[in-house]
Amino acid sequence: MSIKPGGGFFPIITPILFISPLLYLRDPFVMLLFSALSLLLLMSFAQALYINKKTCYIEGETLGKSTKCLVTEKFMEKFIFNNCGNIFEVQAPSWAHVESIENFEKSTTITLSFSFPSPGKYVLGSVRLFLHSSMDIFKVEKDVAIRRSFKVLPESSIWIIRGLRFLGIGAHGLIESGEETNEISYEISEATQSISSLFKHRSGEFLGIRHMLPEDDQRMIEWKASLRSLRLSVKEFSSGGERLEPFVIADYRCYGPRSCDAVASSLISIALFLAEEGYSMPTLEEVESKRIVKFSDGRTMLAYLIDRVLEENLAYIDESDLYEITAPLSINEIRGALAKLYGENMLELTGISSQYKEELKTSPVIVTSLIHDPATPIDIASESSSQGLVASIIVPSEPWKDTQDLERAYAIRRTYELLLNKLKTAGGRVIEWRR
């Protein structure tokens, strides 16, 4: 607690200092003005002392409360402060934004909105209140204990639960616990709205260019492509609503809780969509190992990707917190059940990767944190574009928020923005996983 000059201090003290040398004149008006200003200053200081000595406290159940929530959630909470005085400003962490301050006769209601940058544990031990005396001559600062704690779970945790439930593996975790968890809902990122369009085509949509067959219409010949390949080539269009054979390229490397959560959420949500829609024979290429795997169906791919997310700990939470998500099953039990699902229903393609990708003729979907290996998605986007395909690249939004070092954050941001431009120039479709 402290008392400092307020906004009205200098407008009062300045005339007092100017008038004081004139007191020897014993002018009644000067003496009256000096006395009035001095009295106002003293009364305001006495009021500031009184405010400073008052014990300010929080009313209700909010004190010491603990909450579990998703990193995608944004929520507001009201705090009632008693015996404080008129509060005109509140200082809180960046993830606790002050929405409103309502001063009443005996209490003050402060509304805070909470929005967390990344998963983890957050503690709001106290807030700093700023009060003022009459005419804002003095400002009083008070630290009031709140002891509010938050366990913020990654977005990927909800995708893990949804995926496990779809696979029939009984992970109930936080969703069906009896604890107060803010009723964690199925928060769906804006990026998922476009997932279906990655694997389906509208009627008449341009698919690409292929070599001409005897039954093809000569009006569809693409002469530029024909001259390049020295073989007649034609433009190919979809017949409407047809499904493509899914081809997903995954780079599991990431550099912080925000970007890792985005990579994990993207991969599981894509696999869950393919499984729910009944897609067959999806293909997965892993960038770092150059491994290409073909699955019998989307369900098998979903089991494999959940296992990889757990193995790489892309959810970025420790084992005890992860158990809260997968309870009553342990992580080892979950991974064992997943391995049984995909073990015999996948085929690793060795030695034919480039040939296979050329014959696939499917626009690839790439999930990457981008910064670790920018060359690969740019090359794939460029190669796909030359074949008349459009590579979709899903990347984390604002990855520089994963570092507290301002210099490094600036470098990551500049690199990231340049890479996005290069991907678009190469013919790629960039989707930022936002939250």
DSSP string, 375-429: HHHHHHHHHHHHTT---EEEEESSGGGG---HHHHHHHHHHHHHHHHHHHHTT-E
Q: What is the model's pLDDT at position 352?
A: 54
Per-residue pLDDT 10s for the chain (435 aa) are: 677 777 777 777 777 777 777 766 777 777 788 778 788 878 877 877 877 778 888 877 677 788 888 888 888 999 998 888 788 889 999 999 999 999 888 888 999 999 998 888 899 988 989 887 777 777 888 888 888 899 888 888 888 888 998 998 865 554 444 343 333 344 444 444 556 667 655 445 555 666 676 667 677 777 777 776 677 777 665 555 555 678 999 999 988 888 999 999 999 999 998 998 888 889 999 999 888 999 999 999 999 999 999 998 888 777 777 777 777 788 888 899 999 999 888 888 765 555 555 555 678 899 999 988 899 999 999 988 887 788 899 999 888 988 888 999 999 999 999 999 999 999 888 988 876
What end-to-end distance do the CA atoms of the chain give, in Å? 38
User: Peptide bond preceding 328: is omega within 30 degrees of 0, i.e. cis?
Assistant: yes
Nearest to 40 by CA among 131, 136, 140: 136
Half-sphere exposure at residue 143, Cβ-oriented, CA atoms within 13 angstroms: 6
Where b means 16+ CB within 10 Å and e means fewer, 57-72 reads ebeeeeeeeebbbbbb
CA separation for the pair 182, 69 (Å, rounded): 6
Whole-model pTM: value is 0.73
**CB 182 within 8 Å of CB 73:** yes
Secondary structure (3-state) at 260: helix
Helix (H) or strand (E) holding 3: strand 2-5
Q: What is the pLDDT of residue 318?
A: 73
Kindly state the tokens that stand for 70.
């998703």
d(CA 357, CA 294): 12
DSSP SS3 for 203: coil
pLDDT at res. 414: 94
**C-beta separation of 163 from 269 below 8 A:** no
Q: Is the Cα dihedral 82, 88, 94, 95 positive or negative?
A: positive
Name every residue whose Cβ is closer than 8 Å to that of residue 20 and which is 6 or more positions away in sequence. Answer: 34
Is 184 within 8 Å of 70 (Cβ atoms)? yes
Amino acid at 398: E
How far apart CA 13 and CA 21 sit, in angstroms, is 14
**Which pair of structure tokens corresponds to residue 62?**
């909010």
CB of 306 closer than 8 Å to CB of 157: no
Give the pairing of strands 392-396 and 365-367.
parallel
Indicate the helix (H) or strand (E) that contains 74.
strand 74-82
Cβ contact 224:328 at 8 Å: no
pLDDT at 87: 86
The confidence score (pLDDT) of residue 242 equals 54
In whole angstroms, give the CA distance from residue 340 to residue 346.
11
Measure the CA angle with vertex 214, ends 208 and 217; round to 5°. Answer: 60
Q: Three-state SS for 39? A: helix
Residue 210's Cβ-count burial label (10 Å; 0-12, 13-18, 19+) is middle
Return the biggest CA–CA distance within the chain: 115
Catalogue all structural domains in the chain, each as residue range(s) with its CATH number.
1-153 (2.60.40.10), 155-200+243-433 (no CATH)
- Using the structure block, give the residue that is written with the tokens 């499984």: 275
Do residues 295 and 342 lie in contact, with contact meaning Cβ atoms separated by under 8 Å?
yes
